[in-house]
Amino acid sequence: MSAPAMPFTERMTCSQARAETSTAVLPLCEGLPRHQARRLHEDALLIASELAANALRHGGGITRFSACVHENVLVVQVSDRSEREPLLLPHDPTVPGGFGWLMVRNLARSVSVERHRGGKTVSAVLAPPLRT
């Protein structure tokens, strides 16, 4: 699935990523029962936070960020300066952290990593629950 081109964003922070995602997901929440809208919103914020934090911590910084609704799904994309793909780490109770990539993969409908010159873009797609 291709999404609209991402705008260039300098010095994006996790808080800014969350705020942009919070605004972007609202159209998908319209008409959903309150508990489903809240869950979709919270899942979107968790994914945006985790992808932004990983880009800052492991990817040399965020080079581009986008959160937009495209074809009735939310697409969150974060680009960074590293070509290394995120790792799914084995659980180690003696080491803090290491759950983020697993969480993103479990919360999103789909996740992809595209390498490009100078880094990579991680895309996560979230969809509202089917309306019955």
Give tens-digit pLDDT for 15-51. 999 999 999 999 999 989 999 999 999 999 999 999 9
* Residue range of the domain that includes 122: 14-126
Domains held by the chain: number: 1
Residue 7 located in a structural domain: no
Contact 101, 87 (CB under 8 A): yes
Q: Residue 53 is part of a domain; what is its CATH number?
A: 3.30.565.10
Residue 116 located in a structural domain: yes
Token pair in block for residue 124 = 């996560």
Give the number of residues written for the chain: 132
Element holding 123 (H helix, E strand):
strand 119-126
Q: Look at residue 7 and tell me whether its pLDDT is greater than 90.
A: no
User: Residue 97 pairs with which residues in a beta bridge?
Assistant: none
Residue 4 located in a structural domain: no
Q: Which residues, including other chains, have CB under 8 Å from residue 43's CB and lie 6 or more apart?
A: 107, 126
Residue 34 located in a structural domain: yes
Q: Residue 93: how many CA atoms within 13 Å on its side-chain side? A: 0
Residue 85 located in a structural domain: yes
Q: Look at residue 5 and tell me whether its pLDDT is greater than 70.
A: no
Q: Look at residue 9 and tell me whether its pLDDT is greater than 90.
A: no
User: Residue 112 pairs with which residues in a beta bridge?
Assistant: 123
Element holding 78 (H helix, E strand):
strand 73-80
Q: What is the pLDDT of residues 84-121, one digit of tens each?
A: 999 887 878 888 777 889 999 999 999 999 999 999 99
Q: Where are the alpha helices (DSSP H) in the chain?
A: 14-29, 34-58, 100-107
What's the pLDDT at 131?
59
Residue 1's pLDDT band, with cuts at 50, 70 and 90, is: very low
Residue 65's pLDDT band, with cuts at 50, 70 and 90, is: very high
Residue 27 located in a structural domain: yes
